[in-house]
Structure 1
Amino acid sequence: MMQLLLISNSTMPGEAYLDYPKHEIKKFLGDSVKRALFIPYAAVTFSFDEYEQKVGERFSELGFEIKGIHRYDDPVKAVREAEAIVVGGGNTWQLVRMMHEQNLMPEIKKRVEEGVPYIGWSAGSNVACPYLKTTNDMPIVDPLGFDCCGMIPFQINPHYLDANPEGHGGETREQRIEEFLEANKEIFVAGLREGTMFKLADGKLSLIGSRSCRIFKHGEVPVELTEKDDLTFLMK
């Protein structure tokens, strides 16, 4: 059974880095994992070493060691031997490009299907989807293709916002998702608000957090679902 923890964002206003999801991360990894493989490729304005250190400090508080994939001579082998896989947020386009360059997408999917726990936030949640197409950030590089790991059959829009900031006249996030659905009629999109996450365990998909998520499908009225609802239908 696949085990996924897909987090909308790393940090809430006024909180420390990865503070709000830390207890869920601890429960999710449990006692069997000692070291997690960290993929820092979404970092653009700071180094992979800095990203590894930042994430490693938080995970060490939870009792886990983090080692960045950039430290391995053979990234594919690192994925094949990983106890758990963690993919951080940042620029999704760069993340996807580097994952394609290293041929990591199929290897990660295979390992997760074998039961290796996967944690991602923001861009790291995006790459668990079939496609890159519902990310929010700028295409700063050619991603070498829009296909992602496809560990889940639906798309996530992390950091989902209900309305534009005051004084902004551009499209809302919902309008952007409607554009995606017009061109991709067969797929669900989940607007994952900040402070929330999806957890897939024992074949069941659930929402964690005090805010609802907004579910979109072409030709259907969007619905709001909460942590009381079973979201496993999105996995079909």
Structure 2
Amino acid sequence: MKKIIIASSSNVYGSGFLEYLFEELETFFEVAEDILFIPYARPGGISHDDYTEKVNHAFRKIEKNVIGIHTFENQKQAIKNAKAIFTGGGNTFVLINQLYKRHLIEPLKTSISKGIPYLGTSAGSNICGLNIMTTNDMPIVYPPNFNALGLVHFNINPHYLDPNPKGKHMGETREVRIKEFHQYNTIPVVGLREGSWLRVNGESVVLQGNLKARIFECDKDPYEIDPNTELTHLR
């Protein structure tokens, strides 16, 4: 049975790295002392070692140890042996490109489908959907294709932002961008606001946190859902 947390972000304003999720993660990762971390979303500015240490520093607060997948010679086997997996944020195109390049897509899908707890934040959440075409990131690399892990039957838009009526930004809003996606695609999209996450247990998908999420379905008006709403109807 799949056990997944799909979180909008690693950070929320005024809180430390992952802190808003600590209470949830203590229970979620209770059977795992070590967590396999996938740092491949970072295109530069921070090394895989430094990114892993940043994550490890956070997880030590809930008495967990983090090991970077990049330190393993056989990364497919590392995924197979993992008791828990976390994929962090960065650039979704870079992340999915690395996963394809290293032939890790299928091992990840297999392990997560067997019930290995998986946490994704930002880019690590984007790859939980059917494809990565609703990411906010720039396509700075060109992956073999845009297909993702398909762990849920819809796409994710992490960091979803509502239009600011007092703002001076004259470009497209996040909502407009997602509606543009639906001119060519029929996949539903969940706009996850900062501090929100989806909890997946088997086929059950429930919105968690204190904020509503915005749901986009092709040929329908966008609508809001409250926390604790079940999303299994989206497909």
Band of TM-score, shorter chain: over 0.9
Counterpart of 2:108, as a letter, is I
1:22-66, CA deviations, whole angstroms, 9 ceiling, x for partnerless residues? 111112112x11111100001122100111001011112112111
1:118-151, CA deviations, whole angstroms, 9 ceiling, x for partnerless residues? 1000000001111110100111111221111111
Q: 2:207–2:231: 8 Å Cα contact kept in structure 1?
A: yes
Aligned to 1:179: 180
Identity %: 39
Aligned to 1:36: 35
| CA apart distance, 1:202 | 4.7
* 1:1-236 matched pairs, under 5 angstroms: 1-30=1-30, 32-43=31-42, 44-163=44-163, 166-185=167-186, 187-234=187-234, 236=235
RMSD between aligned residues? 1.2
Range moving further from structure 2, 12-21 or 164-173: 164-173
Counterpart of 1:49, as a letter, is D
| Residues in 2 aligned to 1:9 and 1:25: alpha-carbon distance in whole angstroms | 14
* TM-score for both structures, normalised by structure 1: 0.95
Counterpart of 1:120, as a letter, is G
| Residues in 2 aligned to 1:231 and 1:134: alpha-carbon distance in whole angstroms | 18
Counterpart of 1:37, as a letter, is L
Counterpart of 1:181, as a letter, is H
| Residues in 2 aligned to 1:132 and 1:230: alpha-carbon distance in whole angstroms | 22
* TM-score for both structures, normalised by structure 2: 0.96
For 2:142, what is the secondary structure of its paired residue? coil
What is the count of residue pairs matched by the alignment? 233
| CA apart distance, 1:106 | 1.1
Q: After the TM superposition, which segments of 4 or more aligned residues of structure 1 sit over 2 Å from their partners?
A: none
| Residues in 1 aligned to 2:106 and 2:163: alpha-carbon distance in whole angstroms | 36
For 2:134, what is the secondary structure of its paired residue? coil
1:168-220, CA deviations, whole angstroms, 9 ceiling, x for partnerless residues? 110010000001111112x1100000010000125321111111001111111
| Residues in 1 aligned to 2:130 and 2:77: alpha-carbon distance in whole angstroms | 23
